[in-house]
Amino acid sequence: MTLDGRRAAESRSPTAALLLGLIITLAAVVADSWYVTRQIAGLRLLQTELVDRSRKNSLQLLRVQNDLNQLGLAMRDMLDSDEPYPLTAWTAQFQRIRTDLDSALRSEQAVAVSRRTPEQRAYLESSLAQFWDATDRIFALAAGGQDAEARAQIRLSLQARQAALSTSVARLLRENNEAEEAAAVRVQDIYVQVQRQVYVFLAATFIAIALTSLYLIRSNRRLFARLALLSDQRREVARQMIATREATLREISRELHDEFGQVLTAMGSMLSRAGRHTPEGSPLRAELREIGEITQTTLDNVRGLSQSLHPSILEEAGLEHTIEWYLSTLERQLGVTVSYERSGTPTPVDSAVAIHVYRVLQEALNNVARHSGAQQAWVRLRFAPDALQLEIEDHGKGFGGRPPRRGLGLVAMRERAELIGGTLDFDHPHEGGTIVRLRVPAPHGG
């Protein structure tokens, strides 16, 4: 891969891949939810349509079987020779059982499972109808005084029909039990399938999330690496720009001090000599004196400008005296009253650090004069064992509760603080305005 291709790949946004991973995850969630919902609906239908109906059907069949058993017991009592009652005495019991049996069969047909064949229903209905016809004939014989014939019909026909009906009902109960067992197996299979599907879904979701997270981590690492590289490059460029600026200002300051200063000094000397050779009271002598004063004023301004561009006093007298000199000139130039406070035991400050501290002070006070609208400022220089701290406070407009705009001056102040390993903070005093706080850690001596 070429360098341009590699850069293009590194700068490609991870949004598309992350969206794809999100879509895949959401699709997996939707598909699994649909599958689970469908299986649960099928399970509910199975339990409602088959299991519950089969259970209700079994209860009705048990009711039918119980009635048939009561009929069997009644027929046994009718055949018992020890009973003193005539056969017609059982008519009411048979009628009550017949009513309950008809009700049970109607309820059973209403809840019978769908796979009951019409032949099975027809057989059960016809067998029961034949049983009751035979019962009616027996009771008719008994009512006509033919008890022996009636008992013979019970032994030969009625008991056989009752046994056949009991066998049919028992067969239906067995089929219901088998259906319930099959339904239970199907329910268990559905639970197993749903459980397996949930595990598969969780695994797929975990894999999708893991892949997406790994890709995001990789993209973030690559992005942070690029940001770190850009930050290092920016810091190096800023360092070079500040160093170039200081070198340029130092050169201009030297040229002003040496070249223009020497020229103006020579001009002042020549004007003084010319004035001494001019007669006393001559108009020319007054004009030469006036020109000499203008030359001296210009020389003072050039020297002041030279010190402002690059204070040579910084190397000669140190940071404290440079700040005192600068504050005194600032009050005259900008009309801002500055209260200066120094605390702690003064220690020498390396010139490479001192120039940046001085520039931060210079930029902060220029901002006070240009933007804050304040007429007074406070400068505090504190020497601590572990750090040097410089504060510039004003009670002007401030930033209105918003963070300071990233103007070139503020950016340069932050860059200078970073170059010397310090920190630059902005705070708001209770009276309003702004506090610029520069902190340079020790050692700061040279």
pLDDT in tens, 118-150: 777 788 888 888 889 988 888 888 888 888 888
Tally of helices (H runs) and strands (E runs) in the chain: 13, 5
Q: Tokens 């894999």 — which residue?
A: 207
> How far apart (Å, rounded) are the C-alpha atoms in residues 158 and 391?
119
Whether a cis peptide bond, with omega within 30° of 0, leads into 443 is yes
β partners of residue 381: 342, 390
Model confidence at 446, pLDDT cuts 50, 70, 90, reads very low
- Residue 360 · residue 425 · CB < 8 Å: no
d(CA 129, CA 9): 89
Residues 6+ apart with CB under 8 A from 10: 222, 226
d(Cα 378, Cα 336) in Å, to the nearest integer? 10
Report pLDDT digits (tens) over 2-46.
545 555 455 566 677 667 777 877 777 777 777 777 777 776 666
- 29-33: long-range contacts, CB 8 A cutoff, minimum separation 24: 29/201, 29/205, 32/197, 32/198, 32/201
More confident residue, 339 or 259: 339
Tokens standing for residue 274: 């010319």
Distance CA 365, CA 297 (A): 26
Q: Is the pLDDT of residue 73 over 70?
A: yes
Residue 379's closest CA among 394, 396, 369? 394
Total-model pTM: 0.49
**What secondary structure letter does DSSP report for 415?**
H
Cα separation, 275 vs 269, whole angstroms? 10
Confidence of residue 445 (pLDDT cuts 50, 70, 90): very low
Give the N- to C-terminal CA distance of the chain in Å, as an integer: 51
